[in-house]
Amino acid sequence: MSRLRISEIFYSLQGETRTVGLPTVFVRLTGCPLRCGYCDTAYAFQGGQWLDIHDILQTVASYQPRFVTVTGGEPLAQKACIPLLMALCDAGYEVSLETSGALDVSAVDSRVVKVIDIKTPGSGEVDKNLFENMSCLQPHDQVKFVICDQADYEWSKNIIQQYQLAAMCEVLFSPSYEQQNPGELADWILKDRLPARLQIQLHKFLWGNAPGR
């Protein structure tokens, strides 16, 4: 049985994406090859415990969830993430994957909702974007841009247009927490009639940056 290094498994409200506000089990994998300036899960870069997929499924099942999110770190940095995603889908959950988009998503089970975080210049990791992943997008997937400033916003607008992302899947704009004013970002989106959904990280407004939330 494949094993993965797990930082934490916890039950909370989804703070982002299409299922925001819904009770969700989060499986956070350890490790990430990126170092984004706004990262709020640096504690998941190291440590964790090795668990096989059977044990992960048992823990997830104990919460009796409908929704399961596999996140990190960068979950696809562990090869066994692919069979884990498949096993979660086979178990009947509605599964989403939060990934940086810096690693190949072509092997991800088609039943999984891929949430690809396209790295903006303000992240400090814009050169890591693997834009070949855009060809793997399905209508149920989502792409996310974390906006640090107006330069990030303008850059993201150009990427949406270049790849015609709004015609492929849902586009999310998220203001970098305590860095970009959400109201200002909302005004830009309205002014430009941008085909994007503004999202604010619900969990941070409820619990701040507390781990396991």
Q: Is 0.75 topped by the overall pTM?
A: yes
pLDDT tens for 118-152 read: 999 999 999 999 999 999 999 999 999 999 999 99
Query: Which residues form the domain of 77?
Result: 3-207
Q: What CATH number does the domain containing 187 carry?
A: 3.20.20.70
What are the start-end ranges of the H helices in 14-101? 53-61, 81-90
- Does 115 reside within a domain? yes
pLDDT tens for 71-129 read: 999 999 999 999 999 999 999 999 999 999 899 999 999 999 999 999 999 999 999 99
- Does 59 reside within a domain? yes
- Does 84 reside within a domain? yes
- Does 212 reside within a domain? no
- Return the SS3 of 207: helix
- Does 182 reside within a domain? yes
CA–CA distances in Å: residue 211 to residues 37, 42, 72, 138, 202? 18, 10, 12, 31, 14
**Tokens encoding 105:** 């998503």
The DSSP 8-state label assigned to residue 195 in this structure reads S
Unique residue bearing structure tokens 């069979």: 83
What are the start-end ranges of the H helices in the chain? 53-61, 81-90, 150-163, 182-192, 202-207
Q: What's the total number of domains in the chain?
A: 1
